[in-house]
A and B are shown apart, each in its own frame.
Chain A
């Protein structure tokens, strides 16, 4: 069993180029990983005999809402710039330790590597993250909407600047 700090040290030794910081403002520490390295980092975490992270508890995407806010006349707004992030909670069922990883991507180009080849659980979670926030997971086997209708074209509902359409297939929405 290892603490988050120890796991951070191990990762830092393994990937000195890009693992340097922990997100400390939250009261839950999160190790920051670049979007295009997450797959190899996770593979390392899952296979290293000292770590053995064999299960992904939760994958959550969130809109940081930190861009420039462009308000419009009708009270709605849009974000310009800023970031979206994806947070991974991993656990080892054998060694019983946990770790939190964090990936931050720009709003304009939210591309993150998929980890569904390591944990099958990630398949649906990533589809949900795509559906709700619009994160694009590269190398995902089947990235399409999961909760909203397949032909939904009004955007990603959990983004803070989401606007609901007036009609969907002839049914009044709001």
Chain B
């Protein structure tokens, strides 16, 4: 005999300590089993695209910072690459190297937050403190370069707002050296921790076909075993001159593409970023970082889509110009927005407690989801 049951609808958020911001999840449950998860977003919709239409090209850069506020440098990177392509500017080698260094430092900082807060979500508080300790050192590096801790306005179209200070390379090298130890520490503390593995392995498995159909990119796609990285596959800046690997998920603790893989891929990526940093810090050429700044930024009529590999995934800017000082339309392909769409698919059939494990593992930032 089958018993007829009624589904329960549970609301999580919009202010919930584990939702990484202001996100509301409407969870449909059958007992403890998840039937469906519907994310409701827009609680942080800050009208970015409307602002773009009212501001000139350089004025947009500070707003770009505020999209994914954990990876501001990289957002600027994407935006300036797009506008430079529209204008046809070639920037000096030194600028490119500094950009790559800043970008990779930012990637480490962003992944540290992702990994640290993921620990908190699962119930491990200590790794968070370790991660933030190291992130703080990266922020100090940024601060000595451009004065801001979080939102930098550092990349300019055609150059940078400041050259790096004289001590920068030395301090950055020290940091990179120490950071290798931290990664080991992190692995011992969290990655192979039995409780952590039990909570994350074999949970929220993402297959390659589903991932591509949903437009998933970045670490989340690589965790499913696809070797796809725009730094390698659609190279921009000087990434083609640097040597690094693209780690992919292997299902070491469970199945390929589960939460643990998505977590661990970020640890591996930090290792690769360290590798890039070591090379780039040694190779910075001399030069003037403001040499190529254009006098007037007024791209010709046309449209362009360019993309970069943000710590979260493929960050793209679609810019339409009508020949004015302001863009006609800017549309951002925000990786977090795309990734959040897959929540329902990933959670189906799991237990309530796994929602947080899945949500933390796809690493979203609400500033970018809602824009």
Contacts and interface: CB of A to CB of B under 8 A. Distances in A.
Interface residues of A, number: 33
Contacts, number: 89
B50 A157 contact: yes
A142 to B, nearest CB: 9
Interface in B298-350: 300-305, 307, 314, 316, 318, 320, 328-329, 331, 333, 337-338, 341-342, 345
Contacts of B337: 124
Given A58-B316, A93-B226, A146-B41, A25 B301 contact: yes
A124 B341 contact: yes
Q: How would you classify the secondary structure of chain A's contact residues: helix, strand, loop or mixed? A: loop
B45 A147 contact: yes
Q: State which size class the interface on B falls in.
A: 35 or more
Given A62-B320, A147-B370, A149-B42, A54 B329 contact: no
B50 A158 contact: yes
Contacts of B328: 62, 65
Given A58-B318, A147-B41, A25 B329 contact: no
A121 B228 contact: no
B55 interface: no
B226 A58 contact: no
A171 to B, nearest CB: 14
A119 B215 contact: yes
Interface in B254-308: 300-305, 307
Given A123-B341, A124-B337, A148-B45, A28 B303 contact: yes
B213 A119 contact: yes
A57 interface: yes
Interface of A: 25-28, 30, 54-58, 60, 62-63, 65, 87, 89, 93, 96, 100, 119-121, 123-124, 132, 145-149, 157-158, 160
22 contacts: A27-B302, A30-B303, A57-B307, A57-B333, A58-B305, A58-B316, A58-B331, A62-B329, A100-B305, A119-B215, A120-B214, A120-B341, A120-B345, A121-B213, A121-B214, A123-B341, A146-B42, A147-B45, A147-B370, A158-B50, A158-B53, A158-B329
